[in-house]
Amino acid sequence: MRRASFLWAALALAACSALAQAPKPATPAAPGTAAKAIFAGGCFWCVEHDFDKVPGVVSTTSGYIGGTVAKPTYEQVSAKTTGHAEAVEIVFDPARVSYEQLLATYWRSIDPTTKDRQFCDSGSPYRSAIFALDETQLAAARKSLQALEKSKPFKEPIVTEIVAATAFYPAEEYHQDYAAKNPVRYQFYRSRCGRDARLAELWGLSAR
């Protein structure tokens, strides 16, 4: 389901709201301490918003990865012809949060049981995937998957991809910090998409 259908409906709600929030401030990291991670979990607005809450995360960037076209547009990716997934590049401070901790957050913020789909969004752009930036991340991701297979509170198999990262292309500016800049539309989309309800069903979590 395309997010556009939700957004038009949300305009009426947005007109009734006086909420005007500035983009989230970046927390500066000391030189040489920042590291990166790239996760795909369906709508990048939601993935970005979830990781913005994690202490030690310096910044998040919505974008596209895993496809065959250089510098794709949102329209191209949404047409499901380029092979890209919506994803988020996370810059984090390893002294405050480890890659393994980010993996734990990632697993519990997605539905790892659905192929080429996350919640109400379907198609390859919305697949769940961990894009490892080096062999250390690749090993850590595989180890976390093995542990999750043993401890998961649901019976369905996990189908999330774990692959080496390819070129990451930042999405258009209007997608960046979407939840902060458009809080009413974002909450309307997230609620109607059933993301938090499904997460609670899978993981026993309260709504995010």
Here the CATH number for the domain that contains residue 172 is: 3.30.1060.10
44-58 mean pLDDT: 98
User: Is residue 22 assigned to a domain?
Assistant: no
Residue type, 185: R
Q: What is the pLDDT at residue 11?
A: 37
116-135 mean pLDDT: 98
pLDDT > 90? residue 6? no
User: Is residue 195 assigned to a domain?
Assistant: yes
Spatial CB neighbours of 71, under 8 Å, sequence gap ≥ 6: 169
**Alpha carbons 41 and 192: distance in angstroms, whole number:** 17
User: Is residue 162 assigned to a domain?
Assistant: yes
Contact 92, 137 (CB under 8 A): no
Q: What is the pLDDT at residue 54?
A: 98
Task: Return the CA Rg of the chain.
Answer: 17
56-67 mean pLDDT: 98
User: Is residue 132 assigned to a domain?
Assistant: yes
What's the domain range around 72?
4-9+32-203
- Give the count of domains, the chain: 1
User: Is residue 19 assigned to a domain?
Assistant: no
User: Is residue 21 assigned to a domain?
Assistant: no
How many residues are given for the chain?
A: 208
Collapsed DSSP state (helix, strand, coil) of residue 24: coil
Count of CB atoms situated within 10 Å of the CB of 177? 21
Nearest of 136, 69, 76 to residue 103 by alpha carbon: 136
153-164 mean pLDDT: 97
Supply φ then ψ for residue 123, to 5 degrees.
115, 160
Catalytic (active site) residue 43: yes
**Alpha carbons 179 and 183: distance in angstroms, whole number:** 5
User: Is residue 131 assigned to a domain?
Assistant: yes
User: Is residue 186 assigned to a domain?
Assistant: yes
The residue from 43, 46, 120, 193 that is catalytic is 43
Which pLDDT band, with edges at 50, 70 and 90, does 119 fall under? very high
Tell me the pTM: 0.85
Nearest of 63, 55, 58, 41 to residue 107 by alpha carbon: 41
| pLDDT, the chain, mean | 88
Residue type, 200: A
Instruction: Look at 127 and 21; give whichever has higher pLDDT.
Output: 127
Burial of 123 (0-12, 13-18, 19+ CB in 10 A): middle
**Alpha carbons 125 and 141: distance in angstroms, whole number:** 21
